Chain A
Amino acid sequence: MSSMILDTAEKIFTRNANVLSPGTFDVVHWTEVEASGFTLALLAEEAGGFGLSAGDATSILRVSAKHASRLPLAETMLANWLLADSGLPIANGVTTIALVDALPSENCRSVVATRVPWARASGAVVVVALDGRIGSFDSPRIVAHGMNFAGEARDDIELVWSEEISKAKAPRRFETYLALCALLRVIGLAGSAEAALKLSVEYANDRVQFGRPIGRNQVIQHQLAIMASHVAASTAAADMAATAFPLVLTDEDRFKTIVASAKIRAGEAAGICASIAHQVHGAIGITEEYRLHNLTKQLWSWRDEYGNEAFWSEVLADQMLSMKTPSPWQFLSREAVHVD
């Protein structure tokens, strides 16, 4: 991973300190993030990006999650990639993504999309439909405001048909788009879990009860060791999924398998990590003032967005069972990303 990008990301996301009410984000901070080019990080150089690897590009999201920077970055990043991938013009500013059954048409002029990330702040929505079409809609009408635990906007919007909407045949299968969105959440889960572990270990070394740091007790050590294993699995899942990103263009099936595995693993780790982190922290951890909840709320929200563990487990099992002779090993070894 390029350390320059990480350094820049660390600097920018550490500066984010403004506590704002849920459902909003720090516009000044966002301007800085945009100015740094992060929203274009997934794009290839020809498409206006900087030629970063997917691993580098997504590492920005990991840092952002670690700092619980509540920003529409993941969505904007991916929305720009989706537009470029479909040959549609790149939008400016905050852009989001909605997955729907069908785009609005002359026959069915209005379509409602639910829980669209940061729709209220978005200039454009990239809409991917199950019927194989993709379109870009400007300034969607908000039907209802909503939020996830982490205070990120998740709004219901109405998409209305008009002649001018730019649309195209979606170059990928619908589930591939779902997997792309899930990949972003896997990265975020890994960053959140990592930060929650760091905070918990520091706390266990600082907090003194019965005359010694609580972390000197073997029970606490073992709880944190369990958490560390799940954080390691979560991080491995994120690395595996990010490395698999280029497969989107060449082998959508394999890409789906890898992201499904990653989301299952990171999703399961999320609940365990949140629970141990809170237990180790005691009462201070559930206060609004202490920052642990910003991380655990991300864990609790993102594990359920774009398919929970049960959903992706079924996808994975179906893929394996659809082999001519279902073989777990052939399935695993065929589908894995090779690391060296």
Chain B
Amino acid sequence: MDSNLGSDFSNAKRAHSWLGFDAAFSRSLGKRGWVGMTLPKKYGGHERTAMERYVVMEELLAAGAPVFAHWVADRQSAPLLLHYGTEEQRLEILPRIAAGECCFCIGMSEPNSGSDLAAAQTRATRKDEGYCVNGTKLWTTNAHKAHYMTLLARTDKSDERHGGMSQFLVDMRTPGIEVRPIIDLAGEHEFNEVRFDDVLLPPTALLGNEGDGWKQVMGELAFERSGPERFLSSFALLNELVRVLSDAPDRQARQAIGRLLGHLMVLRHMSQSVAGMLQRGENPTLQATIVKDLGTIIEQEIPEIARTLVKVEGSLESADTFAATFARTLLAAPSFSLRGGTREILRGIIARGLGLR
């Protein structure tokens, strides 16, 4: 990080956590072999184990490295392509992902389909030349920077709520796609509205089998939810807190920091066992859901605890790194338990796992 970003890459910048976007940094990680680590060599990967990949991910997150340019592609699009893509799709895209050069966005949510993903209305109609897509995707993070979108769309009328959906690999340069920025409460442009107006996709854009969209998306979400980014988003603020308090920590501060360390230690153990399950080919959906739910609670607690221990008036523009790091983390905190499935939806999944639904 020092050689790529300079040694003055401050905690306030690190507080962007994995949402920090730096294409050059992602490329240099790709050169080191730290992207696409578990992919087969013939697709540009490094055939490392899931645990080895996990260790690298953790170190990057703990350091607050700007990894967003390749994060989504590496985390969920690559496994998706590997499982369901055609050989042609894999050969074309996986090596670019492994090089840290390929940015993906996720086209699931829509104006009327948030938690209720099965209510998606975007439609892909089969034509002779391929598929014609009409509809609107919403909250699409990085759509304005991405090379590809994995799009969930209806391909069929189906009586079954989860039926008739398919996934597509969409080149974001395709004519008819309009990306409109949505500015968030921190003034950042991260997510977008993406409109499809008679967008013609080639037949080769179909990802996996027609009609399997729901099943594939559920698999993708398991990857989206299982990583260590689900408990390390506020780590830069914890570092700041320790830096500010370490000279003269009173009892309250030591108790609060020690408690956080204890919780993080156990969360890390839990998160590592999810990675272990993935490595053994087991299905960690329930365990990953629990780790995400507990992880986001801690992530959201950290700014609340920080402000009880250190007097601060947060400000993104502040020259004081504590105030700026606090502000960045606090303003990001509400999204922790929304993105990748809301807290309520996760608890529904856990309840189902308990046999209550």
Counting CB contacts under 8 A, is B255 at the interface? yes
Counting CB contacts under 8 A, is B323 at the interface? no
Counting CB contacts under 8 A, is A233 at the interface? yes
Given A224-B356, A314-B254, A328-B261, check contact A321 B269 (CB 8 Å): no
Please, which residue of chain B has its CB at the minimum distance from the CB of A243? B269
Q: What's the Cα separation between A268 and B267 when bound, in Å?
A: 14
Given A229-B293, A329-B235, check contact A312 B270 (CB 8 Å): no
Q: What's the Cα separation between A338 and B62 when bound, in Å?
A: 17
Selected contact of B350 from candidates A205, A229, A329, CB within 8 Å: A229
Contact A264 B290 (CB under 8 A): no
Contact A317 B350 (CB under 8 A): no
Please, which residue of chain A has its CB at the minimum distance from the CB of B357? A221
CB of A303, distance to nearest CB on chain B (Å): 13
Contact B263 A265 (CB under 8 A): yes
Contacts of B276 in A (CB 8 A): 339-340
Contact B258 A312 (CB under 8 A): yes
Selected contact of A232 from candidates B243, B257, B261, B270, CB within 8 Å: B270
Contacts of B268 in A (CB 8 A): 332-333, 336
Given A224-B351, A320-B242, A336-B269, check contact A229 B258 (CB 8 Å): no
Contact A233 B270 (CB under 8 A): yes
Contact B266 A229 (CB under 8 A): no
Q: What's the Cα separation between A215 and B273 when bound, in Å?
A: 29
CB of A11, distance to nearest CB on chain B (Å): 25
Given A221-B356, A222-B344, A229-B290, check contact A332 B351 (CB 8 Å): no
CB of B75, distance to nearest CB on chain A (Å): 20
| Interface size class, chain A | 35 or more
Counting CB contacts under 8 A, is B249 at the interface? yes
Selected contact of A317 from candidates B239, B255, B279, B348, CB within 8 Å: B255
Contacts of B262 in A (CB 8 A): 260-265, 309, 312-313, 316
Counting CB contacts under 8 A, is A228 at the interface? yes
Contact B265 A205 (CB under 8 A): no
Contact B294 A339 (CB under 8 A): no
Counting CB contacts under 8 A, is B319 at the interface? no
Q: What's the Cα separation between A244 and B256 when bound, in Å?
A: 24
Contact B269 A215 (CB under 8 A): no
Counting CB contacts under 8 A, is A156 at the interface? no
Contacts of A320 in B (CB 8 A): 242, 257-258, 261
Contact A236 B269 (CB under 8 A): yes
Closest 7 CB pairs of A and B: A313-B258, A264-B262, A317-B258, A221-B351, A261-B265, A316-B258, A225-B350
Q: Can you list 20 A-B pairs, Cβ within 8 angstroms, ordered by A?
A: A221-B357, A225-B350, A232-B270, A236-B266, A236-B270, A239-B269, A262-B262, A263-B262, A264-B258, A268-B263, A313-B254, A314-B251, A316-B261, A326-B242, A328-B235, A329-B63, A332-B265, A335-B265, A340-B51, A340-B279
B residues touching A (Cβ–Cβ < 8 Å)?
51, 58-59, 62-63, 235, 238-239, 242-243, 246, 249, 251, 253-270, 272-273, 276, 279, 287, 290, 293-294, 344, 346-348, 350-351, 353-357
